[in-house]
Amino acid sequence: MRFLPIRRSLIVLAVACLGAAGAHAQDRAVPTSRAQVQLSFAPVVRETAGAVVNVYATRSDRRQNAAMEEFFRRFFGDGAPGLPPGRSQSSLGSGVIVDPSGLVITNNHVIENMNEVKVALADRREFEADIVLRDPRIDLAVLKLKGATSLKAIEIGDSEALQVGDIVLAVGNPFGVGQTVTQGIVSALARTQVGISDYQFFIQTDAAINPGNSGGALIDMGGRLVGINTAIYSRSGGSIGIGFAIPSSMVKVVLNSAKSGARRVVRPWLGARLQAVDGEIATSLGLDHPTGVLITSVYDRSPAAEAGLKRGDAILAVDGQPVDNPDAFGYRFTLKGAQGQVPLTVLRGGKQTGIQVRLAPPPEVPPRDPVRIRSRSPLAGATLVNISPAVAEELQIDMSDDGVAIAELDEQSVAASVGFQKGDQIVAVNDERIASTKDAERFLNRSGGYWEITINRGGRVFTTVFGR
């Protein structure tokens, strides 16, 4: 089995026959009114479907430039690893109008790496769209329709009020066949360990969602948006009744960031490393079952340190909401924003206590001082930044006292072509330790055509040699 973003361009038709002759006789209650006979989801659909849109995204890749070709010929000869010729890519998904001014929420993976986005409304009007904000870690993006005004928007509901067994509707554009509505129930809440995004806390539903439903609406019986359909669990790429949606509580966080003019979602920083509490740890803590997250280290001058949190403490709840693993903690903590304080329920020495933690974004100390490498080197086309708590949080890398990391990487750059990745930490160049972006720029420029670059990638340190 595998988890799939629901955006692939397959055409599959399935006919399901519900009920069959010869079924065991069952007791049935006779309807007592016309209203019971005519029970339908149509009123909810009429109220909400107009706010669900189709999102079309395309990208035209350019051919590699002459400088890159020269680099490859010089250092790799005729067998140089080049890039494929220019080509056009496309993506099809769904979205939801969440503000009459033309703000649309969709999945980031629908528009990822795309440079042209168009949105088609239910009434067949089409608009070009600007990407206002994208957040790969949550897998959400906000679009702004150009020239759109007074559009029908959907009310955002409270996903925290959902219960397992609640009826929900999924609205989207599966397989590109046109707007489609399916019905099911909430199968589970707070699904983590799914492996879809960094903030894993999903609503699971059996409402049929398929490729093309990505970014579409999950709606409750009050006609409110309670989730954004994001992925399916599937063997074949089609729905087998296990779908996942990002809760509307997280949608609000992303939307509020976009409305404030931010280009990215600002998250609160705890400043501590966490791990899940397993059975053995639970026993050692005196818990009757595994729950909470264990603090394994605390960074100096962080909100966790200021609050007095210590290695070995177990965080059981955020503002009264239980957390069972680091994913659940990250979700609950992010919902609190980056201002004020939040109470944590902490187990220490066998006793529970409440600790107030300051909510603040991770600091940019030292300043990131970005440098785009333009010299003829293996890192050409990469943007390097100084590592700070803010950078470490954004790139999901371990915090270090100093150093630099790749923050941006052009897909068709030399750096990408020779294997560098976003988030790589550049430890040394030709045995010279890199403490800042200025160091990196200086050492790369004076290499003389030979580069021995040491990289830290996810805790694995290795050295790659380029040149003669």
Among the options 99, 109, 220, 447, which is catalytic?
Answer: 109
DSSP 8-class letter at 156: B
Of 386, 389, 465, 392, nearest to 426 by C-alpha is 386
Number of CB atoms found within 10 A of residue 168's CB: 23
33 a catalytic residue: no
- On whether the CB atoms of residues 313 and 319 are closer than 8 A, the answer is no
DSSP 8-class letter at 237: S
Residue 24 is assigned to a ligand binding site: no
What's the angle, vertex CA 222, arms to CA 219 and CA 223, rounded to 5?
45
Burial (CB count within 10 angstroms: exposed 0-12, middle 13-18, buried 19+), residue 211 = buried
Residue 101 is assigned to a ligand binding site: no
313 a catalytic residue: no
24 a catalytic residue: no
DSSP 8-class letter at 331: H
Name residue 96's beta-bridge partners: 52, 105
The Cα 133–Cα 16 span in angstroms is 40
Residue 402 is assigned to a ligand binding site: no
Of 417, 416, 412, 380, nearest to 63 by C-alpha is 412
The Cα 304–Cα 355 span in angstroms is 10
Residue 256 is assigned to a ligand binding site: no
Among the options 214, 248, 257, 417, which is catalytic?
Answer: 214
- On whether the CB atoms of residues 464 and 419 are closer than 8 A, the answer is yes
Alpha-carbon dihedral sign for residues 453, 394, 196, 272:
positive
Among the options 139, 206, 313, 327, which is catalytic?
Answer: 139
Of 413, 407, 387, 412, nearest to 399 by C-alpha is 387
Of 259, 234, 252, 230, nearest to 110 by C-alpha is 230
Residue 324 is assigned to a ligand binding site: no
Q: What residues form the annotated binding site?
A: 109, 139, 212-214
Q: What residues form the annotated binding site for substrate?
A: 109, 139, 212-214
The residues carrying an active-site annotation are 109, 139, 214
